[in-house]
């Protein structure tokens, strides 16, 4: 049981607009939000002049801080979870897949025990990016690891993960994809369209079958053509679907991001990092899926120029979202916390600053830089350098 924590006098990012108030946390939950709260003996974070919002939730991340999720070593996930709060991340989906069905099952089985663990950022479950994706849009994934959609194979993955797969990225135009989409939805996970060469019509069939989310809109999918809108136009026009935007400035130019946001609005936009293990590292090169990658700026790419993932951390994506999309801070918190909470299936307990919700908080300064992060009521990152006092 975590101790009592009082976050005093921050400007809170609340649904009805910013408001100066205190937040009292106890037992890992928010127990009160209001003015001049009193709690003798509580640990205090003095947030005067700082902004406080719900902690960031990243539903598409492959690692960071030198730790990769393409592993059967659960200590890598735990090490990432301990590192991520410095970027304001308080929970995440482990985005992973193996090189072949046997390895995918082994990874899911090996990592399943960390789901729900709370040493730092909380592991909310898995996002399987593949293997049922289109070889024509494989992006950074080696073509040899891709699979034809199979309900039986999906059921083996779901069992290996102990039912903790929350999101599955697939290409709806592949043979057998539609029954697979229905099976994923029946299992309570989110079928997501991505790494796809679908036409507008094929995309629509996918949405009819149950696709409700789109993995990194624009990237690794058929581009827009004036006579074949493809998955991007279909996704923008599909009111039932949320869409991921990678806001690192390298994956997508700010102008198309802004265009997409104009259509999607604050309810349907989900900011994700697609971070590699190289995120937040000094290293300028590394390996991904057995190939050498080079980092320059926010971009990590293979020798042929294929972008393999982002290295800009979540707090940078948050700042970019404000700038690129032309939104205010409270709206950016919806895109980085409340909306991803729905994808991860935790909207009932995460993504909002309300009594009863998990005490997952991020404190930002006026430059929107992370000054402190609280995970389930525990201070997981303290960059305030102010005195934490007992009243």
Q: What is the Cα–Cα distance from 143 to 362, expressed in whole angstroms? A: 39
Site size toward Zn ion (CB under 5 A) is 2
| Residues within window 168-207 making contact with Zn ion, judged by CB under 5 A | none
Written as one string, the DSSP assignment of 263-313 is HHHHHHEEEE--B-TTTT-S-SEEEETTEEEEEETTEEEETTS-EEEE-S-
Cβ nearer to Zn ion, comparing 54 with 249: 249
| Residues within window 121-140 making contact with Zn ion, judged by CB under 5 A | 129
Q: What is the Cα–Cα distance from 101 to 95, expressed in whole angstroms? A: 16
Q: Which two tokens stand for residue 354?
A: 């309300």
Cβ nearer to Zn ion, comparing 308 with 375: 308
Cβ nearer to Zn ion, comparing 129 with 153: 129
Q: What is the Cα–Cα distance from 390 to 41, expressed in whole angstroms? A: 5
**Buried (b) or exposed (e) across 263-288, using 16+ Cβ within 10 A?**
ebebebbbbbbbbbbbbbeeeeebeb
Q: What is the Cα–Cα distance from 217 to 232, expressed in whole angstroms? A: 7
Cβ nearer to Zn ion, comparing 2 with 269: 269
| CB of residue 309 to Zn ion, shortest distance in Å | 6
73 is catalytic: no
**Cβ neighbours, 10 Å, residue 323:** 14
| Residues within window 260-279 making contact with Zn ion, judged by CB under 5 A | 274
Asked if residues 60 and 274 have their Cβ atoms less than 8 Å apart, the reply is yes
Task: Build a one-symbol-per-residue string for 216-255: x at contacts with Zn ion by CB under 5 A, - elsewhere.
Answer: ----------------------------------------
Q: What is the Cα–Cα distance from 102 to 258, expressed in whole angstroms? A: 41
Q: Which of 22, 58, 248, 274 is catalytic?
A: 274
Measured from each CB, the residue nearest to Zn ion is: 274
Asked if residues 379 and 82 have their Cβ atoms less than 8 Å apart, the reply is no
| CB of residue 93 to Zn ion, shortest distance in Å | 11
Q: 33 CB contacts (<8 Å, ≥6 apart)?
A: 12, 21, 22, 23, 24, 353, 354, 355
| CB of residue 61 to Zn ion, shortest distance in Å | 8
Cβ nearer to Zn ion, comparing 29 with 137: 137
Cβ nearer to Zn ion, comparing 183 with 276: 276
| CB of residue 62 to Zn ion, shortest distance in Å | 6
Q: What is the Cα–Cα distance from 378 to 374, expressed in whole angstroms? A: 5
| CB of residue 96 to Zn ion, shortest distance in Å | 9
| CB of residue 370 to Zn ion, shortest distance in Å | 23
Angle formed at CA 13 by CA 10 and CA 18, multiple of 5 degrees: 80
| CB of residue 275 to Zn ion, shortest distance in Å | 9
Cβ nearer to Zn ion, comparing 153 with 244: 244
Q: In the chain, what are the helix, strand and coil shares in percent, each to the nearest 5?
A: 30, 30, 40
Q: 225 CB contacts (<8 Å, ≥6 apart)?
A: none
DSSP annotation of 52 reads E
Task: Build a one-symbol-per-residue string for 332-361: x at contacts with Zn ion by CB under 5 A, - elsewhere.
Answer: ------------------------------
Cβ nearer to Zn ion, comparing 274 with 378: 274
Q: What is the Cα–Cα distance from 123 to 327, expressed in whole angstroms? A: 28
| CB of residue 280 to Zn ion, shortest distance in Å | 16
Instruction: Supply the residues annotated as catalytic.
Output: 274
By the criterion CB under 5 A, which residues form the site for Zn ion? 129, 274
């Amino acid at each position: 049981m975590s101790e009592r924590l009082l976050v005093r006098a921050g400007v809170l990012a609340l649904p009805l607009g910013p408001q100066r108030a205190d937040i009292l946390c106890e037992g890992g939950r928010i127990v009160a939000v209001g003015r001049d709260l009193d709690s003798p003996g509580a640990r205090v974070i003095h947030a005067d002049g700082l902004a406080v919002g719900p902690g960031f939730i990243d539903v598409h991340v492959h690692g960071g801080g030198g730790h990769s999720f393409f592993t059967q070593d659960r200590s890598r996930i735990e090490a990432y979870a301990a590192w991520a709060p410095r970027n304001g991340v308080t929970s995440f989906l482990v985005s992973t897949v193996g090189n072949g069905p046997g390895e995918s099952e082994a990874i899911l089985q090996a990592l399943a025990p960390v789901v729900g663990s709370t040493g730092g950022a909380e592991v909310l479950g898995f996002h399987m990016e593949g293997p049922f994706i289109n070889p024509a849009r494989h992006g950074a994934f080696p073509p040899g690891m891709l699979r034809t959609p199979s309900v039986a194979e999906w059921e083996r993955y779901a069992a290996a993960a102990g039912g903790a797969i929350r999101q599955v990225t697939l290409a709806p135009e592949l043979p057998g994809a539609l029954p697979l989409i229905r099976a994923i939805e029946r299992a309570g996970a989110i079928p997501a369209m991505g790494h796809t060469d679908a036409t507008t019509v094929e995309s629509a069939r996918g949405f009819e079958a149950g696709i409700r989310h789109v993995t990194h809109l624009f990237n690794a999918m058929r581009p827009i053509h004036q006579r074949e809108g493809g998955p991007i136009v279909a996704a923008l026009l599909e009111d039932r679907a949320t869409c991921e935007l990678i806001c690192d400035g390298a994956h997508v130019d700010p102008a198309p991001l802004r265009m997409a946001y104009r259509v999607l609005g604050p309810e349907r936009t989900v900011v994700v990092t697609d971070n590699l293990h190289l995120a937040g590292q000094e290293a300028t090169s590394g390996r991904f899926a057995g190939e050498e990658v080079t980092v320059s700026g926010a971009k990590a790419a293979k020798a042929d120029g294929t972008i393999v993932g982002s290295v800009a951390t979540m707090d940078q994506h948050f700042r970019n979202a404000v700038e690129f999309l032309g939104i205010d801070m409270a709206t950016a918190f919806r895109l980085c916390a409340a909306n991803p909470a729905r994808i991860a299936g935790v909207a009932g307990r995460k993504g909002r600053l309300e009594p009863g919700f998990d005490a997952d908080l991020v404190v930002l300064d006026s430059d929107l830089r992370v000054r402190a992060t609280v995970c389930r009521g525990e201070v997981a990152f303290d960059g305030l350098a102010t005195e934490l006092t007992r009243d």
